[in-house]
Each structure stands twice: as C-alpha cells, then as structure tokens.
Amino acid sequence: MNHLLIKSDFKKGNLLPRWLNEAYDYWSSTVSDNQFPCHFGMKAERDGLLRYTYCENHNFSELPQTLNEFLKLSRENPSIRYALVLFVEPELNHQHLDYDYYNAYFWNVLSYLHEQDDKEWSNDIPIDPDHPHWEFVFNGEPIFVSGNAPFYQNRITRNLGDCLIMIFQPRRIFADTSYTTPHGRKAIEVIRKKVEKIENMPYHPDLGGYEDLSKREWKQYLITDDCNPIKGTCPMRNTLLSSGKGNQKKEKPC
C-alpha cells in the first residue's frame, strides 16, 4: 500500500488501520477548527496541502522512501507549501508515558532516517546541531521537524490525540514567512499570542527564529511541557558527527 496519503484516503476507512482513521479524525477536526492557533496549519489542512503517512509496531522501514516521495512532490511544486504529517501508532499505555519517552522516540526516528539516507548532507547546513544554522537534512533537503504528543498537559496546543505526530516541513517553504521578514514576524507573533492565551502560559523559551545566534533549532523540534529551557546537547549529535556524511565542516558552536 502507498504510505503517502491524501485526505480522501481516510474516507476509505476499511483500507487503513482503525487507529489511524481515529487519529486522523481527531487531527483534522482540531487543526481545521477556527480556534486552532496556527492559521498556516489550519489552511493547509482545509486546502488539502498536507500529505500523511504512518508507522505501526515501531516499524519505520517504509518511512525513508515515503519521505523521498514527499520531497519529490514538494520540489516539483515549489509554490505550494506541502508538509508531511507522520502518525505513529500509539502505545497501549500512552497515558503514562512522559516527555523523556517521546523525546527519545522522536530523535530515534530522525537518527534512523539519517542512517538510511543515501544522499550527502547539504553543503549549506552545518552537520553539528549545536550551531544556529543547523537543520535536519534528508535527501539533501533541510527540513524543520516538529513534534506533538499525548504527554502535553500544559502546552495543550501540542496535544493532538493519542499519537506521537511528527510534521516534516522543508525549510524553503518558510522563505516569506520567517521571522526575518515583516510579514513573517507579524504572523509568528499573532500565533504565539493565541497560543499563550489558550495555554495560559508564556511561549517556550527555546522557541525563536532560524539562525538566531541565541537559539538552537533542534531544541524547537519537541519542546518540554513547562517553561524550562532544554539542557545538554542534541540527542542525535553523536550520530550525525560520526556518520561520515555531510559537509564535514563540523563548525564550532557560535
């Protein structure tokens, strides 16, 4: 079965796992709602600009090829802001799993993708995640990856059901909506204010604009459920630096 799905595929409920149909129904009803704080995500879901995939039984063997197919679609349609949404089959005891569990799982998925990637790391992106210009790269494409999970009790806008959900967005689709442009800065500030109002807490201190010398991209991928900055180094830093892939500049942190 093709694992790169579109909205209409979920109407064929008997062809997909029950848990996946339920996960998508919750996702769609939440993200397409007028109250959802990110209007970019809401519009993408409503307009059919998202592609979806899933993994069961901790088996990610199809994911590299699916991500390659998605990136091909994205590159062939550069004017469309496609994003890929990955649903991971929920654990039976997901109600009791914490940030540490999902954080390790999240980074294990990215490490697996990196190990299965047969292309070199982008020449324009440092391979060391402790650099402000770092971004995850697959098939030569810088990709911002964000995570949503059931453990979020305070940052409820990131709890989108029983699944770990990973969203892959090519960095280039943010060209005119980044924090470095007036339009992008305004849009981001509007989204943050909405999130703060819904969650009744300040936005996470690790969040910031790409290439901000005081921030690190990897810390923004799966934030904590509180207001404490993430400590330490990126969980896949050793995997990246020892892989033999990449531009091999291994630039020092700024």
Q: Are 49 and 81 in contact (CB under 8 A)?
A: yes
Mean pLDDT of the chain: 90
**Global pTM value:** 0.93
Q: Report residue 206: phi and psi, to 5°.
A: -80, -10
Q: Are 166 and 146 in contact (CB under 8 A)?
A: yes
Res. 189: pLDDT tops 80? yes
- Residues near 71 by Cβ (< 8 Å), separated by ≥ 6? 138, 139, 141, 170
Closest of 130, 220, 244, 224 to residue 169, by C-alpha: 220
What percentage of the chain has pLDDT greater than the value 70? 92
Say which DSSP state 5 is in: B
Q: Report residue 148: phi and psi, to 5°.
A: -125, 145
Q: If pLDDT is split at 50, 70 and 90, which confidence band does 13 have?
A: low
Q: What is the pLDDT of residue 248?
A: 45
The position carrying tokens 């531009």 is: 247
Res. 251: pLDDT tops 50? no
The position carrying tokens 């590159």 is: 75
